[in-house]
Amino acid sequence: MIKTQPTPAFAITHADAVQWLRSVPSGAIDLVVTDPPYESLEKHRATGTTTRLKQSKASSNAWFDIFPNSRFDELFAELFRVLHNDSHLYLFCDHETMRVAVPLAEARGFKFWKPIVWDKIAIGMGYHYRCRYEFILFFEKGKRKLNDLSVPDVLCEKRVHNGYPTEKPAPLIEVLVNNSTEPGEIVCDPFCGSGSAGVAALRHGRQFVGADLSTDAIALATQRLRDNGGQEGVKLVGREMPQLALLV
């Protein structure tokens, strides 16, 4: 195994998630943590129970179109291919998307362990038992033991206010990164948004690669990763064996 990492490194690409994943060598990724703009967000937006998806007079934030349920099969096919054997996948979603995503992921070879509950502590928008939680679907490729078996399946972390649309708090993702990778390994988010997964990875000595369709997101994420000590430039190398040659 060759790992040289003078500083934690990152690389972000402006691209469609699935198309970008197709360019990633097989087995090059050690962990995926991602939050697709899932289809049911459109319904939540229409009823006022989530952040807006489009730029409007009431918002300075722009966000690209939703990722339709019909594309989840191709997404899971590529995620399974690019992940190294014995690795984990965490996917943020709501209860509706969970019912769509789980069987498709299992059909592509992932083992679904359980939904982890993210307790956002502060109550959200809406009505009928206003939402303050979100699911993080926990999948496994092969078999990888968690680093800390004492971590509960309910994670409490305050939601991000006045941030990028649906921005996830980096400390929340740090729990997942620390439990499913070792220092120097590569964390991936093909829907990287503001770069929270990258920030979490770099803070703990991991490398980060990702993609996003929004140029605003790319600019924001790049600056955040630089501010967290990241060095631009990760070369992904595919592998047949259990180890990865990482050149930065």
pLDDT of 114 > 60? The answer is: yes
- Mean pLDDT (the chain) is 87
Hey, what are 14's tokens?
């402006």
What CATH class has 9-232?
Answer: alpha beta
Tokens 């918002």 sit at which residue? 59
With contact defined as beta carbons under 8 Å apart, do 200 and 160 qualify?
no
pLDDT of residue 165: 75
pTM, 2 dp? 0.87
pLDDT of 10 > 90? The answer is: yes
Share of the chain above pLDDT 90, in %: 71
For the ranges 24-28, 46-50, 154-158, the lowest mean pLDDT is seen at 46-50
Other Cβ atoms within 10 Å of 19 Cβ, number: 14
pLDDT of residue 53: 45
Residue 237's pLDDT band (boundaries 50, 70, 90)? confident
Could you read off the pLDDT of 55-101 as tens digits, one per residue? 444 344 454 578 999 999 999 999 999 999 999 999 999 999 999 99
What's the number of CA atoms in the CB half-sphere (13 Å) around residue 150? 0
pLDDT of 46 > 70? The answer is: no
Domain ranges of the chain: 9-232
Which residues sit opposite 139 in a β-bridge?
89, 112
For the ranges 6-10, 195-199, 231-235, the lowest mean pLDDT is seen at 6-10
Find the mean pLDDT for residues 41-59: 49
Q: Which residue type sits at 123?
A: I
Q: Which helix (H) or strand (E) holds 107?
A: helix 95-107
Residue 43's pLDDT band (boundaries 50, 70, 90)? low
Could you read off the pLDDT of 182-221 as tens digits, one per residue? 999 999 999 999 999 999 999 999 999 999 999 999 999 9
Q: Which residue type sits at 106?
A: E
With contact defined as beta carbons under 8 Å apart, do 198 and 12 qualify?
yes
Task: Tell me which of 132 and 59 has the higher pLDDT.
Answer: 132
pLDDT of residue 169: 95
Q: Is 173 helix (H, G, I), strand (E, B) or coil?
A: helix
**Cβ-based neighbours of 238, under 8 Å, separated by 6 or more:** 25, 26, 27, 28
Q: Which helix (H) or strand (E) holds 195?
A: none
pLDDT of residue 38: 87
pLDDT of residue 235: 83
pLDDT of 175 > 50? The answer is: yes
Tell me the C-alpha distance between 13 and 211, whole Å.
Answer: 5
